[in-house]
Amino acid sequence: MDTHEDDVIEEAPPSWVLRTPTRRREVWPLPAFAAVLAVVLVVVPVRLGDPVSVVVGSVSGFAVTAGAVMLAVAGRTAYREQSRAASWRFHVVGVVLGFGTATILALGSLARGHFIGLGSGGLFMAWQVFLLARSVPRFDRLVAAVCATALAVGGATLAVLGVVLPDVPESREAVWIGPGTLVAVVAAVVAVLQFRVARTAPPD
């Protein structure tokens, strides 16, 4: 096969560009899933009747609902415009919603006294995917680092509250002090690593 020095090899577009919706039906699955999750976050604690769970679930549900609406708008715009700028905005909203939701679920699980929760698993799985990925945009790394920092602060705060508050139920106190401390330490390590990797990560 003949080759020519003047041949131009086009670089493949970033993965976030390839995830731009190209069909109308591709816009709605993720926002719909987030909306359903928001309803579950509100309804289940209300059915259980625990005051702490109700407050945590209501705040979490509101935040996830707002993210679902923003993702739907960004996805619709990316589908209609089919531009790199719109694709990037859609990616940004998706990353923030994904990591933000996972962080909310993780902290909510701890606050309710459940160490093993969907949020914790989802968040740490996402971090693992990032660690194994060949190329991750700097923004994604920074979002992961910020969410890890929030999780570390939240876990440490719950651990302290478990020690100083006398009226916390024993089952919840045990989770706040033990697993809460563990989550805080692991999340802090992940945050440091993600901030460090973000320095050399590609901008997009």
* Residue 8 falls inside a structural domain: no
Q: What is the largest distance, in Å, between two alpha-carbon atoms of the chain?
A: 79
* Residue 126 falls inside a structural domain: yes
* Residue 27 falls inside a structural domain: yes
Give the tens place of pLDDT for each residue, 148-191.
Answer: 899 899 989 999 998 888 888 888 888 888 888 888 898 899 88
* Residue 4 falls inside a structural domain: no
What average pLDDT does the chain have? 82
Q: How far apart are CA 98 and CA 101, in angstroms?
A: 5
For residue 81, report the phi and psi dihedrals to the nearest 5 degrees. -85, -35
State which residues form the domain around 104: 15-198
The whole-number pLDDT of residue 1 equals 47
How many structural domains is the chain composed of?
1
The whole-number pLDDT of residue 93 equals 92
* Residue 203 falls inside a structural domain: no
* Residue 43 falls inside a structural domain: yes
Q: Span 61-80, mean pLDDT? A: 92
Give the tens place of pLDDT for each residue, 11-22.
Answer: 677 777 888 888
What angle, 0 to 180 degrees and rounded to 10, lies between the N-to-C axes of helices 84-111 and 118-132? 140
Q: How far apart are CA 95 and CA 201, in angstroms?
A: 16
* Residue 150 falls inside a structural domain: yes
Q: How far apart are CA 30 and CA 11, in angstroms?
A: 28
* Residue 7 falls inside a structural domain: no
